[in-house]
Amino acid sequence: AKSAGGNRSELADPEADARAITRHGLTTALPTALERGEFFIEYQPLVHLGDGSVRGAEALVRWLHPQHGVLGPDRFIPLAEHTGLIVPLGRWVLEESIRQARAWRERHGGRDAGPLRINVNLSPCQLSHPGLVQDTVDILERAGVTPDALCLEVTESALIGADDDLLKPLRRLAEMGVDIALDDFGTGYSNLANLRRLPVSVLKLDRSFTQGMQQFPADPVDLKIVEGIVTLAHSLDLAVTVEGVETGAQAEQLRVLGCDTAQGWYYARPGPPERLHDLALADAKG
């Protein structure tokens, strides 16, 4: 974009210029990238804090760009949201990860803890897209996966001030048995009482909350805050998942505080689907 200074001001900040070019380049390359199959998904295990078993995984999309190599979602999801490509891209992520959940189920079925579940992120544009419910139903049916194996993650900020029209598709999905998780919980400013209005069954506590617990003992104020959230969540029948668990001390303190499920580098970084299968199998044996 040309600023008031014209060419000269563009030259004055070559880095900003390079960033803009990359952003523009990435944006125009997005549709063909989807056609060419340049996206892939990594899976990060969700671990039950009580017994340490792997209960499922979150699907995290990546782009293997022919020139720039592997790009993380923070580089291209905002661009895809801006252009609307997030709708077909998000549909692809849903289809691919549910297909994967089916494969895990076949190779890993029959455990007491039940089949591995799959968590998929939903962007605000997908939420307001009229095809969401039907697409999800179709994808589940095609894969032969029951709705209770799926959890859709929606950020707290996407639901702040959401009116009934926006909540309706989520309610329908929840009624079908799909879990809805409130992602990045604690980063927005939602009224806690507001939670009762939302069709969510899981709170995903943002990493910023658990960062103060990497050491033992943790900051007592941090502990009190998390303890309060867990108590409130459980009183509303919500399960609590904690993100960004990087140390054993963190995991232990969060377990004692009553958190249900954890996710983070302490257990595993996001990785290929076979890795999740191996982790879950090792865990079933151990």
Interacting residues with ligand C2E (CB under 6 A): 44, 60-61, 72-74, 77, 90, 93, 121, 123, 153, 183-184, 207, 243-246, 263-265, 270
**Minimum CB separation from ligand C2E for residue 191, in Å?**
22
* 246: partner contacted, choices ligand C2E, Ca ion, none (Cβ within 5-8 A by kind): ligand C2E
User: What is the distance between the alpha carbons of residues 80 and 182, in angstroms, rounded to a whole number?
Assistant: 21
Between residues 169 and 186, which has the closer beta carbon with respect to Ca ion?
Answer: 186
The tokens of 167 are what?
């909540």
Q: Which does 60 bind (CB under 5 to 8 A by kind): Ca ion, ligand C2E, none?
A: ligand C2E
Q: How far apart are CA 66 and CA 160, in angstroms?
A: 38
Please state whether beta strands 54-65 and 69-71 pair in parallel, antiparallel, or not at all (unpaired).
antiparallel
In the complex, the smallest distance separating the C-beta of residue 207 from Ca ion, rounded to whole angstroms, is: 6
Assign 228 to helix, strand or coil: helix
Question: Of 264 and 273, which CB lies nearer to ligand C2E in the complex structure?
Answer: 264
State the nearest-atom distance from the C-beta of 10 to ligand C2E, in Å: 30
216 binds, among Ca ion, ligand C2E, none (CB under 5 to 8 A by kind): none
Q: Nearest approach, Cβ of 270 to ligand C2E (angstroms)?
A: 5
**Ordered DSSP codes for 165-194:** HHHHHHHHHHHHT-EEEEEEETSS---GGG
Return the one option of ligand C2E, Ca ion, none that residue 96 interacts with (CB less than 5 to 8 A, by type). Answer: none
Pairing of strands 261-262, 202-205: unpaired
- 29 versus 56: smaller Cβ distance to Ca ion: 56
- Name the minimum Å distance from CB 146 to ligand C2E: 21
Partner that binds at residue 123, options ligand C2E, Ca ion, none, CB closer than 5 to 8 Å by kind? ligand C2E
C-beta of 97 vs 121, nearer to Ca ion: 121
Nearer to Ca ion, 29 or 183 (CB): 183
Q: Could you tell me if 53 and 45 are in contact, meaning their C-beta atoms sit under 8 angstroms apart?
A: no
Cα of 182 vs its chain's centroid, Å:
10
List the Cα angle 274/275/276 in 5-degree steps: 90
Q: Which helix (H) or strand (E) holds 58?
A: strand 54-65
> To the nearest whole angstrom, how small is the minimum distance from the Cβ of residue 60 to Ca ion?
8
Q: Which among 55, 63, 9 has a CA at the least distance from the CA of 32? A: 63
Residues 108 and 127: their CA atoms lie apart, in Å, by 32
Q: Return residues touching Ca ion (CB under 5 A).
A: 121, 153, 183-184
Closer of 29 and 80 to Ca ion (Cβ): 80
With tokens 């302490």, the residue in question is 266
Q: How far is the CB of 94 from ligand C2E (least distance, A)?
A: 8
